[in-house]
Amino acid sequence: MTEETPGGAAGSTDRVLVVDFGAQYAQLIARRVRECRVYSEIVPHNLSAQEFADRKPTAIIFSGGPASVHVDGAPKIDPGVYDLGVPILGICYGAQLLAQQCGGTVGRNERGEYGRTELTITDPGTLLVDVELGPQSVWMSHFDAITEPPTGAQTTASSPDAPVAAFEAPERGLYGVQFHPEVLHTPCGPALLKRFLIDVCGCAGDWTMTSVIESSVAAIKAQVGTGRAICGLSGGVDSAVAAALVHEAIGDQLTCVFVDTGLMRSGEGEQVVETFDRHQGIELIHVKAADRFFTALAGLTEPEAKRKAIGELFIRVFEDAEREIEGTAFLVQGTLYPDVIESGTKDAAKIKSHHNVGGLPDDMEFALVEPLRNLFKDEVRAVGSELGLPDEIVWRQPFPGPGLGVRIIGEVTPDKVATLQAADLIVRQEIHDAGLDREIWQAFAVLPDIRSVGVMGDERTYGWPIIIRAVTSEDAMTADWARLPYDLLETMSSRIINEVDGVNRVAYDITSKPPGTIEWE
């Protein structure tokens, strides 16, 4: 099983294999490789050395992972991989494993290093040559630490709790870093990865988004053949780009279905239908299914139960649509990589069941077509622009498939949806009027399942609070709460309380991700 980054080997034939040891960050590494314009694939750690060789890699990168090399059953790599003559870069757990398997030592630390850590470069070698020699801020997340690098390797940097924070053994083609060069909080990370790919491995760096589109179109044609596909449109950028890609591949064998769940933002249904009619030239069916969704959600309060109920009902609605369009065997979804990783994989922990991944029923009648499954949101936006989609679609804020269902805590009812829609519209209008649309990743309102006492016009009130959530992010894997101006928050607060019935209090969520998630459920 190999997760291919769309793009195949178009451009040069350089191919980087990112070995997944169960890291939340494996795709982030693959994405950083793509940013260096080199094609990459994610592969599981249990491939044999021959299977690695068969893929003809130019470079191999070992990801981090949650395990300790000292526990039984910790993921390992076939030692034959070290004899393939392909340069290897180990990151965090990957570096520890590489050290342990190649003659170094990994110690058990008294305490770990988590978060921002100071790196001291002792010898820049090749990877750190662009980095200033003074202390460098890097992102660490480890407990064990390498105490001896692999045989023949030079230690190039250290940190307070990682005596071998980076090492290089050029003659053996072995490189390792204890920190995470792939995350934004490691400023020297991009330069380090580029040195590895270009200088050490000799990659040409000529791979582009156009190659993503070309090879996705070819893969979709091969998968769907002469069959028919339907695509669930949510109005968000992901499903729109997926639809445009599939349309490019199979033309009018595609029908789009927009399901109005009753859990959309204010005015959204009409906007989606109007935008698609105008811009896409794709056949669109509009299914009004609010009653079915409210019935399925009645009495449900537990977040995973709500997500699963919504995920299942989406499929049932698509199956009904399919019966009207003869011969439909494929369902196109705009699933992105963060949806996949957070829904849990064999090696990565489950955070929440995204409706289009972990929320899918087992007895579904469709084969899935998911051309964006290995991409991050900004890459999807780039593909969308390349395909000529209008800015109003490409730059829409992300909106979760389960919609307001995961922003109403507890049971979802039509009344609560109406309250939340009104408050959410105010938040979005004010962000727009403040010119912050592109700066803010997502801004929305949440309705919790509590009420509080207030006083309005000399009368006691007992009403709902609204929580405003606004975050900045690059890819939704991590996010920070947006430092919105106080005046803007004040305007939102007074408008919500004055304009939305039943609301008497407004709070602002100042939690980053992690430890929170962007959505509340």
Contacts with ligand XMP by CB under 6 A lie at 338-339, 342, 352, 354-356, 398, 400-402, 442, 476, 513, 517-519
Of residues 117 and 353, the one with the C-beta less far from ligand XMP: 353
Of residues 90 and 303, the one with the C-beta less far from ligand XMP: 303
Instruction: Output the smallest distance, CB 398 to ligand XMP, in A.
Output: 4
- DSSP string covering 192-240: HHHIIIIIIT-------HHHHHHHHHHHHHHHHTT-EEEEEE-SSHHHH
Of residues 181 and 401, the one with the C-beta less far from ligand XMP: 401
CB–CB of 479/472 below 8 Å?
A: yes
- Is 113 tagged catalytic? no
Closest CA to 508 of 401, 430, 406: 430
Q: How far apart (Å, rounded) are the C-alpha atoms in residues 113 and 162?
A: 8
Q: How far apart (Å, rounded) are the C-alpha atoms in residues 360 and 340?
A: 12
Instruction: Output the smallest distance, CB 245 to ligand XMP, in A.
Output: 17
Of residues 149 and 269, the one with the C-beta less far from ligand XMP: 269
> Which DSSP symbol is given to 179?
S
Active site residue: 36, 41, 92, 188, which one?
A: 92
Q: How far apart (Å, rounded) are the C-alpha atoms in residues 483 and 508?
A: 10
Of residues 254 and 479, the one with the C-beta less far from ligand XMP: 479
Instruction: Output the smallest distance, CB 217 to ligand XMP, in A.
Output: 23
Hunting for tokens 């044609």 — which residue is that?
Answer: 221
Of residues 181 and 303, the one with the C-beta less far from ligand XMP: 303
Of residues 275 and 473, the one with the C-beta less far from ligand XMP: 473
Instruction: Output the smallest distance, CB 333 to ligand XMP, in A.
Output: 9
CA distances 16 to 5, 88, 193, 340, 510, Å, are 10, 10, 12, 21, 38
End-to-end CA distance of the chain: 31
CB atoms within 10 A of CB 132: 10
Please give the torsion angle defined by the CA atoms of residues 114, 119, 125 and 129, in that order, rounded to the nearest 10 degrees. Answer: 110
Tokens for 188, please give them. 């020297």
Instruction: Output the smallest distance, CB 427 to ligand XMP, in A.
Output: 14
Residue 43: beta bridge partners? 19
- Is 92 tagged catalytic? yes
Please give the torsion angle defined by the CA atoms of residues 29, 32, 36 and 38, in that order, rounded to the nearest 10 degrees. Answer: 40
Active site residue: 180, 247, 354, 355, which one?
A: 180
Active site residue: 113, 182, 248, 430, which one?
A: 182
Alpha-carbon Rg for the chain in angstroms:
25
Tell me whether the omega of the peptide bond preceding residue 515 falls within 30 degrees of 0, making it cis.
Answer: yes
Instruction: Output the smallest distance, CB 112 to ligand XMP, in A.
Output: 24
Instruction: Output the smallest distance, CB 518 to ligand XMP, in A.
Output: 3
Burial label for 508, CB within 10 Å (0-12, 13-18, 19+), is: middle
Closest CA to 296 of 280, 286, 282, 308: 308
Catalytic residues: 92, 180, 182
